Amino acid sequence: MTKKWGHFVRKWITKNMELPQDVMMDLPRITMIGQIHIYIENHRGLIAFSDKELRLLLKQGQLLIKGNAFVIKTILPEEILLEGKIDQVTYINE
């Protein structure tokens, strides 16, 4: 199956079967509570972590989170829960 055809099939299934786009299009799901808690599902791995920065690999691009006093509360193969003071969340399309 060509890449273009596969994209068409996923969009058709998403539309006609009423499945969430993040599931069918392999997109990250980001849940943020205020500036203190962020939960990211469907990432491809941890690139960098410090108490001021978290960088995750996505299927397409990266997710950069900046702030202070970061602590990883939970880390699983495709999920991560970060706590601290979140100042910036940036999607990097590379």
Q: Is residue 8 part of a domain?
A: no
pLDDT tens profile 59-83:
989 999 999 999 999 999 999 999 9
Q: Is residue 13 part of a domain?
A: no
Q: Is residue 12 part of a domain?
A: no
Instruction: Report the CATH number that the domain containing residue 61 is assigned in CATH.
Output: 2.60.40.2000
Tokens of 24: 């069918």
Tell me what percent of the residues of the chain surpass a pLDDT of 90: 67
33-40 long-range Cβ contacts below 8 angstroms, 24+ apart: 35/67, 35/85, 35/86, 35/87, 36/83, 36/84, 36/85, 36/86, 37/81, 37/82, 37/83, 37/86, 38/65, 38/81, 38/82, 38/86, 38/89, 39/79, 39/80, 39/81, 39/82, 40/79, 40/80, 40/82
Query: How many folded domains does the chain comprise?
Result: 1
pLDDT at res. 67: 98
pLDDT at res. 58: 94
**Residue 56 structural domain:** 26-92
